[in-house]
């Protein structure tokens, strides 16, 4: 498939690195100025961080609201000021309260499963003060560092699924750690869920480890680490052009056409597709509306928007206005259509 509009890399982010640092390194590797991620992943977390480059960066705004799947190790026994393993201890639970969760007693397992299931559904979540959300033009973590008081914003989030994956013992603290897999709406803070999970068990708790398994249809199985990219970069003489060509040949880059394949899709012939690249409206009779190729429970699509395709190539994101299809965001230029001569629509 042609990638004239850039593409998407699914980076498996390592622990301790910021999302901005990942973008900076990808920019160097690809020799591309237009690079951006599709939603911050906390430095202590690992896993799926989709990174768009080239003209594909224009699609990042439509990927921000995808649901996310995480695997979180929730350490019982103490809470921290950041709600994760990077923070300072705030409160501790007496050992008599948390020790029982280190048992393999079937009653304890049933209790853990019941609490896990109780998290499924809509809930109001308060944004943690150690976050990048802005209040009155200033990021919340700055208020935290200053010791200033601030009203924390609240938002409605949805936990679509929650599964208890077992219990282990934290080698450093001796605390039991509950492994829980969450499928959540965009904007959900798993750190907050971890603290609430502990509270439901009568314990203080924090997110010990966090790994993002998927962002929309982009999964960890299709990801690549920055170290692997740098090794390939060095093997290719540190040439960004050769690297871009190689990662496309090896299927490491996802095209926008594949990324948005589960949106409601409208297929156009060549003439109509060219009109759309110019931003012209196209009659409803010119497009063929098809069902999504796949259904991902992890993706939310704006009901008013459609993905406009020519063959397997994503042309634009658009909507219906009266008797016409209109574009909201175009990802190709008219000249790009020359790359698809002879392509069947």
Tokens, residue 156: 């409605």
Answer for the pair 327, 318: CB distance below 8 angstroms, yes or no. yes
Across 87-116, average pLDDT:
91
> Do residues 130 and 14 share a domain?
no
Q: Provide the sign of the torsion angle of the four alpha carbons 74, 76, 80, 86, taken in this order.
A: negative
Q: What does R_g of the chain's alpha carbons equal in angstroms? A: 23
In a domain, residue 111? The reply is: yes
In a domain, residue 209? The reply is: no
In a domain, residue 2? The reply is: yes
CATH number of the domain bearing residue 151: 3.30.2350.10
CA 48 – CA 69 distance, rounded (Å): 9
In a domain, residue 211? The reply is: no
Residue 277 CB-density burial (10 A; 0-12 exposed, 13-18 middle, 19+ buried): buried
CA 132 – CA 108 distance, rounded (Å): 37
> Do residues 80 and 59 share a domain?
no
Of 161, 177, 203, the one marking the end of a domain is: 203
> Do residues 142 and 184 share a domain?
yes
CATH number of the domain bearing residue 288: 2.30.130.10
Kindly indicate the confidence band of residue 2, based on its pLDDT and cuts at 50, 70 and 90: very low
Query: What are 142-180's pLDDT values in tens digits?
Result: 988 888 888 999 999 999 999 999 999 887 778 999 999
Q: Any bridge partners for residue 268, and if so which?
A: 287
CATH number of the domain bearing residue 249: 3.30.70
Decide if pLDDT at 85 tops 60: yes
Kindly indicate the confidence band of residue 298, based on its pLDDT and cuts at 50, 70 and 90: very low
> Do residues 20 and 85 share a domain?
no
In a domain, residue 196? The reply is: yes
Q: Is 105 a catalytic residue?
A: no
> Do residues 296 and 328 share a domain?
yes
pLDDT for 1 equals: 44
CA 35 – CA 18 distance, rounded (Å): 15
* Range of the structural domain that residue 121 is part of: 70-203
In a domain, residue 266? The reply is: yes
Nearest to 159 by CA among 188, 195, 179, 184: 184
In a domain, residue 284? The reply is: yes
Across 209-234, average pLDDT:
96
> Do residues 247 and 184 share a domain?
no
Kindly indicate the confidence band of residue 231, based on its pLDDT and cuts at 50, 70 and 90: very high
Higher pLDDT, 10 or 132: 10
Give the side-chain half-sphere CA count within 13 A for 112: 25
Residue 227 CB coordination number (10 Å):
10
Using DSSP's 3-state secondary structure scheme, residue 161 falls into strand
Give CB contacts under 8 A, 24+ apart, made by 236-244: 240/28, 240/29, 240/30, 240/31, 240/32, 241/31, 243/29, 243/30, 244/30, 244/31, 244/32
Kindly indicate the confidence band of residue 300, based on its pLDDT and cuts at 50, 70 and 90: very low
Decide if pLDDT at 220 tops 70: yes
Tokens, residue 190: 């798993």
> Do residues 92 and 176 share a domain?
yes
pLDDT for 341 equals: 59
pLDDT for 190 equals: 97
In a domain, residue 289? The reply is: yes
Answer for the pair 257, 313: CB distance below 8 angstroms, yes or no. yes
Work out how many domains the chain is built from and give that number.
Answer: 3
Q: Any bridge partners for residue 180, and if so which?
A: 72, 164
> Do residues 96 and 179 share a domain?
yes
Nearest to 174 by CA among 93, 64, 232, 68: 93
Answer for the pair 218, 259: CB distance below 8 angstroms, yes or no. yes
> Do residues 154 and 273 share a domain?
no
Tokens, residue 46: 């690992």
Residue found under tokens 């208890």: 164
Q: Which one of the listed residues 42, 84, 262, 275 is annotated catalytic?
A: 42
Decide if pLDDT at 204 tops 90: yes
Give CB contacts under 8 A, 24+ apart, made by 230-238: 230/25, 230/29, 233/29
> Do residues 198 and 145 share a domain?
yes
> Do residues 48 and 141 share a domain?
no
> Do residues 103 and 187 share a domain?
yes
Query: What are 233-246's pLDDT values in tens digits?
Result: 999 999 999 999 99
């Amino acid at each position: 498939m042609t990638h004239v509009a850039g593409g998407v890399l699914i980076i498996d982010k390592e622990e301790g690195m910021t999302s901005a640092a990942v973008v900076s390194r990808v920019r160097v590797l690809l020799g591309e100025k237009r690079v951006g991620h599709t939603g911050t992943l906390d430095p202590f977390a690992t896993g799926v961080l989709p990174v768009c480059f080239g003209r594909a960066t224009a699609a990042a705004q439509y990927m921000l609201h995808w649901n996310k799947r995480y695997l979180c190790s929730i350490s019982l026994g103490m809470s921290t000021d950041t709600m994760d393993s990077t923070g300072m201890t705030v409160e501790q639970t007496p050992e008599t309260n948390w020790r029982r969760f280190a048992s393999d007693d079937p009653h304890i397992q049933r209790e853990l499963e019941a609490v896990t299931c109780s998290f499924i559904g809509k809930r109001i979540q308060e944004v943690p003060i150690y976050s990048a959300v802005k209040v009155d033009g200033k990021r919340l973590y700055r208020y935290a560092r200053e010791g200033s008081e601030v009203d924390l914003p609240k938002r409605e989030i949805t936990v679509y699924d929650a599964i208890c994956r077992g219990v282990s013992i934290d080698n450093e603290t001796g605390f039991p750690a509950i492994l829980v897999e969450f499928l959540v709406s965009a904007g959900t803070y798993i750190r907050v869920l971890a603290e609430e999970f502990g509270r439901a068990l009568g314990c203080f708790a924090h997110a010990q480890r966090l790994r993002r398994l998927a962002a929309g249809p982009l999964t960890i199985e299709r990801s690549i680490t920055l170290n692997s990219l740098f090794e390939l970069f060095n093997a290719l003489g540190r040439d960004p052009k050769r690297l871009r060509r190689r990662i496309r040949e090896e299927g490491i880059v996802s095209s926008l056409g594949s990324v948005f394949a589960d949106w409601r899709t409208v297929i156009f012939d060549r003439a109509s597709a060219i009109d759309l690249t110019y931003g012209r409206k196209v009659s409803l009779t010119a497009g063929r509306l098809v069902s999504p190729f796949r259904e991902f429970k992890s993706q939310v699509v704006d009901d008013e928007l459609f993905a406009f395709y020519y063959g397997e190539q994503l042309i634009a994101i658009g909507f219906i206005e009266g008797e016409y299809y209109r574009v909201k965001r175009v990802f190709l230029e008219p000249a790009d259509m020359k790359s698809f001569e002879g392509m069947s629509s």
